[in-house]
Amino acid sequence: MTKNKEPIFITLIYFTVSLLYVLFRYALLKRIPIYGNAVVLLNKALAFTAVFLLFRIAFDKVNQIKSKESGTEKKYHFKFYGTTSTALMFLHAFLSVIVFDEVHLPKFFTSGYLNETGDMTLLWGISALSIFMAIAIIGVTAKNYNSKRRNVPFLISLGYLFLLLHVFTLGENSWFTVENYVHYGLPVSLLSFVLILTGAYLNIKVSREKKKRIFKEN
């Protein structure tokens, strides 16, 4: 396997793992029928895959700093994972619009109207998607990495914050019902929250290490 094909293979593994877990938890354990809910289940798997990729970027950046690696190969991997995760977020948003009704997403509605949970989940989700789309556009169009991407670390932190708020608002009602874990396993939203939070921490760690290096060089 060539190095350029490696991120494609890893992405497919993440998607497979995400889809299998979604089917295991929701279709098998919670007995939600796949027929009539296929788009909802696929949407969960796509969102989970996007979170995995964001975590992978942060994890690889930490390893890169520790090993002091550099070069176009790693930059290609980061660009691939970043662009793919953003594309999956966009697809997740598109599919969410398709199934956005009281039948498929009852927690977002009260008496046929969008409630506070639905409203805030949408707000943070749209905000996060907008930030990561901006980062992806910068990553694809910027020719000069250093001069055109100075604000990217700040945007990444802001994107992580909005993602955390999005996932927390989406799933916090089910996180504290421990009985559900015994019967249905950990919610995808909770697992996503942990991965996003860890990725955010790793990104902060990377930013601090880069600042230390710049300070030492100067």
Give a yes or no: residue 123 inside a domain: yes
Q: Residue 115: helix, strand or coil by DSSP?
A: coil
Distances (CA, A) of 138 to 36, 127, 130, 152: 39, 17, 12, 8
**pLDDT band of 202, cuts 50, 70, 90:** very high
Task: Kindly report which listed range (94-103, 115-124, 131-140, 188-197) carries the lowest average pLDDT score.
Answer: 131-140
Do residues 189 and 44 touch, judged by C-beta distance below 8 A?
no
pTM score of the predicted model: 0.89
pLDDT of residue 152: 81
The answer to the question of residue 120 being in a domain is yes
Q: Kindly state the tokens that stand for 21.
A: 């877990």
Tokens 């955010």 map to which residue? 200
Q: At 176, is the secondary structure helix, strand, or coil?
A: coil
Q: What is the pLDDT of residues 24-72, one digit of tens each?
A: 999 998 889 999 899 999 999 999 999 999 999 999 988 887 776 655 6
**Domain annotation covers residue 43:** yes
102-123: pLDDT as tens digits: 988 899 999 889 999 999 999 9
Residue 66 lies in a domain: yes
Assign 213 a pLDDT band (cuts: 50, 70, 90): low
In total, how many domains does the chain have?
1
At residue 113, the 3 state secondary structure works out as strand
Instruction: Look at residue 164 and tell me if it is in a domain.
Output: yes
Residue 179 in any domain: the answer is: yes
CA dist 158 and 177 (Å) reads 29
Query: SS3 string of 18-51?
Result: HHHHHHHHHHHHCCCCCCCCHHHHHHHHHHHHHH
Q: What is the dihedral of CA 58, 60, 66, 70, to 10 degrees?
A: -110
In a 3-state reduction of DSSP, which class is residue 62? helix
The CATH number of residue 143's host domain is 1.20.120
In a domain, 1, yes or no: no
Question: What is the C-alpha separation between 13 and 34, in angstroms, rounded?
Answer: 22
Q: Which domain holds residue 97?
A: 6-217
Whether the per-residue pLDDT at 215 is higher than 70: the answer is no
Domain assignment of residue 199, yes or no: yes
Instruction: State how far the Cα of 194 lies from the Cα of 196, in Å rounded to an integer.
Output: 6
